[in-house]
Amino acid sequence: MPLRGPTAEDVLRDSAAVAAWMDALHRAAVDRQGRERFTIERRTVRNRVLGENFVPARIHIGSLQQFAGLLGTVREIERLDAVLAATRRELPGAASWVADHPSVALVHCDAWPRLLATARWIVDHDPSTLDLRHLDVPDIDTKFVERNRKVLGRLLDEVLPINRIDLTTNDFARRYGFRPRPRYVRIRLLSPVPGLPAQLTELELRTDELAALPLPVTTVFVVENQASYLAFPELPEAIAVFGGGFAVTTLELVPWLAEKEVVYWGDIDTHGFAILDRLRERVPGARSILMDCSTLLAHRDQLTNEPSPTNASLHHLTAEESDLYRDLIEDRFSSAVRLEQERVRFGFLRDALEPWREESSGWT
């Protein structure tokens, strides 16, 4: 490594400062235990007054250990060596990745033995019938996996055969072959359903079980807001599904729902229309209620702001819905306007549901 040392003029002008600099450099070349940290190469500077003088020009570092000592990283090198040795012993297929990503290994070095043990267990077992909770490694629980899923995933991507990795998902359990955890659907029975006890008004079922239990109803209302879902009035031969942003997923996993008359009610904002668009892509006949300009304008005092609007191109809206969606994007009514469905007066909902109404004790 070259040094920017003193010139001949520096030696002539302030020889004491040059001597002090050289003395400090020589002291730095040896550590407190007398071990050499680097060697010094000198060059000659000439001056008509002082003649020839030898000053340091370069330093030579002879080993990684010496270099680490100069940088103060000896401990990090030792820890990395330990991580690499353990990886070569326990999970050799990942050793080259660790060598290429030393900073990641150092960040996780305290947990490295447990990371290797976890990855090794997954490699050695068929988890297809197991929940992630069934992972049986000493001192390992699902919280550890969750905290370290990113680095665990990197190790597993290196050592698992490609047919054991689901590249279509970033969900850790699904990606590495564990049994998917069930999803649940929450529904309200808006009138008694034949085959079910009359006293039941609400159910929460696993989606796969609901998919195998088609209910004899005519209409499925998908409601995004929980308060609106819970307050939805009684209607004959109808159920309300709590969407919670997952209406499309629910309909995909329970196909018979999509075979019914599907009616969607979401917030009047850009994301509400985006959910409606995705829903109608899969259920072309799906209708919307209370997602129109007249509802928005009738609740001006209830408008709020959408935190992060979208401006994605939507291709499955009606002409009226598309016009309102464009107005929201272009801030026609104000900046990032939003009308949450729970702010819509209940009388508006009652009027919107009139086509589905028959005599029902739920109306007042």
Give me the pLDDT at residue 53, please: 64
The answer to whether 151 and 104 are in contact (CB under 8 A) is yes
In sequence order, what E strands does the chain have? 39-47, 51-60, 184-189, 202-206, 219-223, 238-242, 261-265, 287-288, 304-305, 337-338
Residue 42 domain boundaries:
8-69
Condensed to tens digits (0 to 9), the pLDDT of residues 81-109 reads: 999 999 999 999 999 999 999 999 999 99
Tell me the average pLDDT of the chain: 89
Q: Do both 190 and 301 map to the same domain? A: yes
Condensed to tens digits (0 to 9), the pLDDT of residues 180-225 reads: 888 889 999 999 999 899 899 999 999 999 999 999 999 999 999 9
Q: Do both 210 and 147 map to the same domain? A: no
Which tops the pLDDT comparison, 159 or 254? 159
Number of structural domains the chain divides into: 3
Q: Do both 333 and 272 map to the same domain? A: yes
% pLDDT > 70, the chain: 94
Condensed to tens digits (0 to 9), the pLDDT of residues 150-186 reads: 999 999 999 999 999 999 999 999 999 999 888 889 9
Q: Do both 246 and 121 map to the same domain? A: no
Asked if residue 361 belongs to a domain, the reply is: no
3-class secondary-structure state, position 293: helix
Quote the CA–CA distance of 244 and 239 in Å, as a whole number. 16
Q: Using 50, 70 and 90 to split pLDDT, how confident is the model at 137?
A: very high
- Amino acid 251 reads L
Give me the pLDDT at residue 358, please: 62
The dihedrals phi and psi of 238, each to the nearest 5 degrees, come to -140, 150
Q: Do both 20 and 79 map to the same domain? A: no
Strands 261-265 and 184-189, bridge-based pairing: unpaired
Q: Do both 195 and 324 map to the same domain? A: yes
Quote the CA–CA distance of 46 and 53 in Å, as a whole number. 6
Condensed to tens digits (0 to 9), the pLDDT of residues 115-136 reads: 999 999 999 999 999 999 999 9
DSSP state of 283: S
Q: Do both 64 and 135 map to the same domain? A: no
- How many C-alpha atoms does 93 have within 13 Å on its Cβ side? 11
The CA-based diameter of the chain, rounded to the nearest angstrom, is: 116
Which tops the pLDDT comparison, 246 or 4? 4
- Mean pLDDT value of segment 139-159: 95
Q: Do both 293 and 350 map to the same domain? A: yes
